[in-house]
Structure 1
Amino acid sequence: MPITFDRLNTSKTISKEIVEIIKDNLVNGELKPGDKLPTEKELIEQLGVSRTPVREAIKILESLGVIQIKRGEGMFVTEKPSQLTLNPLIFSLIMHSTNVHKLIEFRQHFEVLLLNMLLTKKNLNIERIEAVYQSQIERMNPSLSPEELVDIDLEFHHAVLEETDNPFLTEIGRTIYELIRPRMIHFKHSKNIERTLATHKTYLDYLKGKDDFHPTEAVRWMIQNNEEMIQE
C-alpha cells in the first residue's frame, strides 16, 4: 500500500518540516530503502502545502543522499547511499574537530570498540586485514608523498571497518577518518612510518589473541602514540 502523509499544521519552516516527516518515517520503519515516495503532486495534496517547499525539501533530501530520483519512474528511498553524497554527520562534527586531542581520544576509543567487536565475531577473516598490513610493509617508504602514505595507512583501518559488517560503525568510522586525515602529515618522517606499521601490527596481534594489553592500557598507548606523531 502506498505511503501517505498527514497535512501539515506547523509554524516551522515548511520545507524542513517535510524533511523531518521523511526522517521520522524512516526511523519508525514506515519507509524503507527502495520504497517509492508519493509524486510531487501527491505530496502537495497530502501535506496541504504549495509546490515551492515540496521542491526545496526534495532537493535537500536528494543532496543528503536520502532519496533518489529515477527519470520516468519517480522518487525512491535510496538503497545504497553513495559516498559522493553530502554527509551531514561530517559537517556537524567539523565544529568540534579543532580540538585535536579530543578527536584523537575519540578515534582511539572507537577503534578499540571495533577490535573488541571483531574478537566476538564468528568467522572472523583476519587474513584479509593481515594481507593489507603485509601490503603496507612493501609499499610504505619515505619516497612517497604524505598524502600517498596517509591513503595507504587508512587502507588498514578501512579493512578493519569492513570486517565488522556493521553499517553503523562503518559510516561513523569513515567520518572519523575523513576528519583526522588532514592532520596525518607526520608520515614525511621515516621513523613515523615504522611507528605506524608497529601500531597496525599491534592491532593484528590483539585480534589474534597475542597481545596481552588490557583494552584500557591499549587505548592509552594508542592515544599517546598518535599525539606524539601529530605534535612532531
Structure 2
Amino acid sequence: MGLSIDKMNVNGTISSEIVRMIKDNLLNGTLKPGDKLPTEKELMEQIGVSRTPVREAVKTLEAIGVIQIKRGEGMFITNNVSHFTLNPLIFSLIMHSHDMEEMIKFRQHFEVLLMNMIITQKQTDIHPIEKVYQSQTERMQPELSPEELVEIDLEFHYAVLEATNNPFVIEIGKTIYEIIKPKMIHFKNSQNIERTLATHKYYLDLISGKHEFNSSTIVQHMIKNNEEMVNE
C-alpha cells in the first residue's frame, strides 16, 4: 500500500512533519504493519525536501521501533504489534519534540512519577538500579566522548523505568529519552560527570527510602540540575 503525502505544516520542523505523515498514514490505515516504505531518495522526491530531514525522521521512527531497516531490502513498518499500543501518545511526544524546554520540564515531572510508582509498589527489586549506579561510578571517566557518557547515563534511567514494571510507562519513558538524547549529548562533558552521578545517587536514595519523598522538592532539585541543559 502506498504512502499518502499531504501538505506540510509550516509551523513544524520538516523532520517532525515527515514523522506526522507516517503517523497519519498508520492511524488511518493507509500504512499497516509489514508495509514497505519508499526509499530515502523516493521520500525526498515525493515530499520535495532534502536528505537531512528525511534521515532525521527515519532515525526517530527507527529509534522508537515504528520502522525496521532491513539491509538490502529497505524500510518497513514493524510488524511487532506491541509497538503500536501507544502510537497516538508517542507520536504526540515526537511532534512536540522541537520545544525542548517543555520536553525537559515534562521529563522532570515524569521522573517524579517513576520514583513514586517504585516506592509505592508492594514489592520492588532495586538491586538492578544499584548495580547500574555502581557500574557508572567506575565507568564514567573524563576521557570518554559525550556520546559514550550519555549512553552510560541513560542506563540508569532505563533501569528505573524497568523497575516500575509498567509497559506503558516504559514505552513512554524510552521515547522521552530518545527525543532528548541529542540535547544530552550536546550538553554532556567531563565536567558534568560529578553532577550526573550525584543526581543518580539522589534518585537512588529516594527510591530506597533514605530521603523523604516530596514531589515539589524533587522537582526543584531536577530543575536546578537541568537548567544548564535547557539554556544550552
TM-score when normalising by structure 1: 0.63
Find the counterpart in structure 2 of residue 195 from structure 1: 195
Find the counterpart in structure 2 of residue 53 from structure 1: none
How many percent of aligned residue pairs carry the same amino acid?
58
Instruction: Output the CA distance in 2 between the equivalents of 1:146 and 1:205.
Output: 26
Contact 1:161 1:173 in 2 (8 A): yes
Change (3 A) 1:18 1:160: closer
Find the counterpart in structure 1 of residue 103 from structure 2: 103
Find the counterpart in structure 1 of residue 159 from structure 2: 159
For 1:62, what is the secondary structure of its paired residue? coil
Find the counterpart in structure 1 of residue 205 from structure 2: 205
Give the drift of 1:61: 3.4
Change (3 A) 1:211 1:93: same
Listed as ranges, the gaps of 5+ residues in structure 2 are 1-23, 36-60, 67-78
Change (3 A) 1:152 1:171: same
1:61 aligns with 2:33: yes
Find the counterpart in structure 1 of residue 47 from structure 2: none
Matching residue's letter, 1:136: Q
Contact 2:33 2:81 in 1 (8 A): no
Instruction: Output the CA distance in 2 between the equivalents of 1:158 and 1:197.
Output: 15
Deviations 1:118-158 (A, max 9, x none): 00112211111000000000000111110111000000000
Change (3 A) 1:170 1:144: same
Give the drift of 1:228: 1.8
Instruction: Output the CA distance in 2 between the equivalents of 1:18 and 1:187.
Output: 35
Find the counterpart in structure 1 of residue 137 from structure 2: 137
Deviations 1:162-195 (A, max 9, x none): 111101100100110011000012222x331100
Contact 1:101 1:227 in 2 (8 A): no
For 1:61, what is the secondary structure of its paired residue? coil
1:173 aligns with 2:173: yes
TM-score when normalising by structure 2: 0.63
Instruction: Output the CA distance in 1 between the equivalents of 2:25 and 2:82.
Output: 24
Instruction: Output the CA distance in 2 between the equivalents of 1:17 and 1:105.
Output: 30
Give the drift of 1:99: 2.1
For 1:209, what is the secondary structure of its paired residue? coil
Change (3 A) 1:179 1:78: closer
Instruction: Output the CA distance in 2 between the equivalents of 1:174 and 1:207.
Output: 20
Instruction: Output the CA distance in 2 between the equivalents of 1:208 and 1:129.
Output: 10
Find the counterpart in structure 2 of residue 186 from structure 1: 187
Q: Choose 1 or 2 for highest CA Rg.
A: 1
Change (3 A) 1:182 1:17: closer
Matching residue's letter, 2:180: I
Matching residue's letter, 1:147: E
Instruction: Output the CA distance in 1 between the equivalents of 2:211 and 2:112.
Output: 13
Deviations 1:61-95 (A, max 9, x none): 335979xxxxxxxxxx846549xxxx665543333
Find the counterpart in structure 2 of residue 113 from structure 1: 113
Measured on the aligned residues, the alpha-carbon RMSD in Å equals: 2.9
Matching residue's letter, 2:188: F
Listed as ranges, the gaps of 5+ residues in structure 1 are 1-15, 21-55, 67-76
Alignment of 1:79-94 (within 5 A): 80-81=82-83, 89-94=89-94
Change (3 A) 1:18 1:204: closer
